[in-house]
A and B are shown apart, each in its own frame.
Chain A
Amino acid sequence: KAGVTQTPRYLIKTRGQQVTLSCSPISGHRSVSWYQQTPGQGLQFLFEYFSETQRNKGNFPGRFSGRQFSNSRSEMNVSTLELGDSALYLCASSLSHSNYGYTFGSGTRLTVV
């Protein structure tokens, strides 16, 4: 079956712009989580969605937002980009929040110049 698909794979934006990243989970997976990885940092939790509801949000400024659609696809948006937003953004899907491992996408590498 198809894995978790993230688009685009690479993105270059300038400071002040906004960006939207997309994540299509595995069919049947209703939970989608987003993580940010910057050099020297582990995976930092951004938010988690289940059935179009945001159930948890990480410690990121309000410039970071997301949503989930009825088909479980999710988008995250970052407005007013800063240089420090340059990172690998990973999306992961799972059947539920309980005992299942997450399946990760290949990520979107965002570079802010």
Chain B
Amino acid sequence: ILNVEQSPQSLHVQEGDSTNFTCSFPSSNFYALHWYRWETAKSPEALFVMTLNGDEKKKGRISATLNTKEGYSYLYIKGSQPEDSATYLCAFKGDSSYKLIFGSGTRLLVRP
């Protein structure tokens, strides 16, 4: 059974703080690692799709890194804002699969 773990489960930070979360996934048969942001009452929104070991992607104040050999990815948010409050999901795709296996997510709350 393939397992995708995310930590922490939840995080409360002050506006302006920088923060990061971890996603752990199987290091074998890797194809891609996705990150999504899911705001309350909205649909999950794709942030990054990462495929190569050592990949680093950036979108505004949010960036992500990927280590496929050891099976982890970090998501960083620099200078958190209240609008960053959401659940951040990572999802693993294996190389012989057409499905995404999601972690349980990290719920981020940014206090003004």
Contacts and interface: CB of A to CB of B under 8 A. Distances in A.
A66 B109 CA distance: 36
Nearest to B51: A99
A50 B98 CA distance: 10
B43 A105 contact: yes
B86 to A, nearest CB: 13
Interface of B is mostly: strand
A42 B105 contact: yes
A99 B49 contact: yes
Contacts of B49: 99-101
Interface string B41-61: 011111111010000000000
B101 interface: yes
Contacts of A26: none
Nearest to B32: A99
From B34, B43, B89, B104, residue with most partner A Cβ within 10 Å: B43
Interface residues of B, number: 24
Contacts of B45: 104
Given A42-B104, A42-B105, A101 B46 contact: yes
A33 to B, nearest CB: 7
Nearest to B34: A101
A98 B43 CA distance: 21
A50 B97 CA distance: 13
A102 B102 contact: no
Interface in A27-62: 31, 33, 35, 41-45, 48, 50, 55-56, 58
Interface of B: 32, 34, 36, 42-49, 51, 89, 91, 93, 97-105
Interface of A: 3-4, 31, 33, 35, 41-45, 48, 50, 55-56, 58, 90, 92, 97-107
Given A42-B104, A101-B49, 16 more contacts: A3-B43, A4-B43, A42-B89, A45-B101, A48-B99, A56-B99, A58-B99, A90-B44, A97-B93, A99-B51, A100-B49, A101-B36, A101-B47, A101-B48, A102-B44, A102-B46
5 contacts: A42-B103, A50-B98, A99-B49, A99-B51, A102-B34
